[in-house]
Amino acid sequence: MLYNFIVFVGVIAAIGLILWIVSVAVAPRDPHPVKEDTYECGLPAPEPIISSVNFQYYFYAIIFIAMDIAGVFFVLYSVGKGDPKFGWVFILFSLLLMVPLSYIMIGGNRK
């Protein structure tokens, strides 16, 4: 059983290494300057673009991902007829998830 897992991890690592080597070998080394330029709707930008990222909804995305993963854990626990002695772990996990969710629900991330 352990041997099969080690072989599986080795094969996946070898495939990853081969794909990385191929991507480095095939990638262009000196791209044309036009490809490095900023475009808006397929046309060159009329003025210089200051590249900034708006993190306004970043916190909401993190909460969404956390709740999605929590849902997967809860479904796996319930479908797998989870051991009752580990139920306290899911209660604690639920309470910990309620802290950021309640922060979002009361509007704590307003600017």
**Spatial distance between the Cα atoms of 49 and 64, rounded to a whole number of angstroms:** 31
Tens digits of residue pLDDT in 17-47:
999 999 999 987 777 777 777 776 777 777 7
Checking if the pLDDT of 111 tops 60, the result is: no
Q: Which residue has the tokens 């000196």?
A: 30
The full 3-state SS of 56-95, as one line of letters, equals CCHHHHHHHHHHHHHHHHHHHHHHCCCCHHHHHHHHHHHH
Higher per-residue pLDDT: 108 or 61: 61
**Spatial distance between the Cα atoms of 22 and 6, rounded to a whole number of angstroms:** 24
Checking if the pLDDT of 14 tops 90, the result is: yes
Tens digits of residue pLDDT in 80-94:
666 666 677 777 877
Taking each helix axis from N to C terminus, what angle separates 58-79 and 87-105, rounded to the nearest 10 degrees?
150
